[in-house]
Structure 1
Amino acid sequence: MKIIACGSVPTILAPEKYFTGRVLQTPIIEKEAPARLRAVMVSFEPGARTHWHTHPLGQTLYVVSGAGLAQSWGEPIQEIRAGDVISFAADEKHWHGAAPKSAMAHIAMQEALDGVHADWLEKVTDAQYGG
């Protein structure tokens, strides 16, 4: 058994090259090979969001607080709220983040394929975010 003590892993400001707006990331777990799991608590201020991206083995989000938005390429924007579970298929192009006037936090879980957890793409424009 391994216990990772609360507060022993620092929260970081998410990089602007992958996110729009203020986003904080707190790592939960990143397993070493041959395991592939990575889980991160991601907290978005109102209006903050990821860029478009994919995951080679898919991604699952568990919304723990607030209200947000998520969208898959070519599909309408969906509202997401605390308690919702969102599942993206392998290589499904998508984004997710807070609603315009509400903060949102989720746990993001994904597995790596050959060491890659995500492929980051272009920014979600304000026009795309606005619907």
Structure 2
Amino acid sequence: MKNARQHQPLRVFFYARRSAAPHPAIPRNKRANAIAPPHDHSFWLWFLAMVSGYGFWLWLGEPIVPPRSHEPCPADTTKIPVKSKKNQRNHPRPTTATPTEETAMTTPTDPLFPIGKPVKSRKFSGAVWLQWLVEPDPVFNCPIVNVTFDAGCRNNWHRHPGGQILLCTAGEGRYQERGKPPVILQPGDIVKIAPDIEHWHGAAPGTPFTHIAIETRPEAGPAVWLEPVSDDDYHAAPVPLTTPGAP
């Protein structure tokens, strides 16, 4: 009995919590109907109305999306507005790039031979391209190279112990021997350079120039390179190749 009396307050507490009613004024047998909300069918009625209207619209033949054309889309020429630094990084404005040594050259429209690879050397005043047509060998013993000078480019003064022949193929060039005026070189011109004659050749100031260089008697020795051509010599008034006293 002592133990039952000790646990009696706990049983009374749980009984009170279990029997407490949220609505004491409503009888227990009618609480379920009072608490449960009435059934609302307004959402389903709205949903059925929308589906019916959509189906009626389809039945009338109205297209939802216009038919896709099979014609190619025109090129997008819309300019991208640049309003912030972020857009400037993502969509930079086109700028006029400064031409470099390799991009500034105006190549011939229809070269007879490939212009070859660019060569950087102190023997030339600017950009030059070389393409071997016949490489040096002991069988033919006749080295032939296709040389293309950028506009205003020329080589240094030099001489060939065995001589050289130039066949002009494109552009306009210049050729000068020591002590003589420079001459104008045009496509189709042929220049025969005697052994050990100091000379230089290159492109005119405003146009590139291409010639085929044939080294004669290469067994006499390689070319001997001298000082660069001065601006006064290069810009001296040229004469035609057929002028008396010209090479």
Q: Looking at secondary structure, tell me which structure has more strand per residue.
A: 1
Q: Looking at secondary structure, tell me which structure has more helix per residue.
A: 2
Tell me what 1:42 maps to: 147
Distance in 2 of aligned mates of 1:121 and 1:15: 17
Match of 2:166 among 61, 73, 92: 61
User: Once structures 1 and 2 are overlaid, which stretch shifts more, 67-76 or 118-127?
Assistant: 118-127
Q: What whole-Å deviation, never above 9, does each CA across 1:30-58 have from its counterpart, x for those lacking one?
A: 23226431111000111001111101111
Distance in 1 of aligned mates of 2:137 and 2:171: 32
Distance in 2 of aligned mates of 1:113 and 1:120: 17
Tell me what 1:122 maps to: 227
Tell me what 1:113 maps to: 219
Tell me which structure has the larger Cα radius of gyration. Answer: 2
- Alignment root-mean-square deviation, CA: 1.9
Deviating 4+ runs (over 3 angstroms): none
Structure with larger RCO (C-alpha < 8 A, sep 6+): 1
Which runs of no fewer than 5 residues in structure 2 stay unpaired? 1-112, 237-247
Tell me if the contact between 1:110 and 1:117 (Cα under 8 Å) persists in the aligned partners: no
Tell me if the contact between 2:120 and 2:127 (Cα under 8 Å) persists in the aligned partners: no
Distance in 1 of aligned mates of 2:118 and 2:226: 19
Distance in 2 of aligned mates of 1:122 and 1:36: 28
Percent of residue pairs identical? 34
In structure 1, the residue corresponding to 2:232 is in which secondary structure?
Answer: helix
TM-score of the two chains, using structure 1 as the length reference: 0.86
Q: What whole-Å deviation, never above 9, does each CA across 1:8-41 have from its counterpart, x for those lacking one?
A: xx92323322111111011111232264311110
Q: What whole-Å deviation, never above 9, does each CA across 1:80-122 have from its counterpart, x for those lacking one?
A: 10010011000110000000001110000003125x3311111
TM-score of the two chains, using structure 2 as the length reference: 0.47
Question: In the alignment, does 2:120 pair up with 1:15?
Answer: yes
Instruction: Count residues in correspondence.
Output: 123
Distance in 2 of aligned mates of 1:14 and 1:92: 25
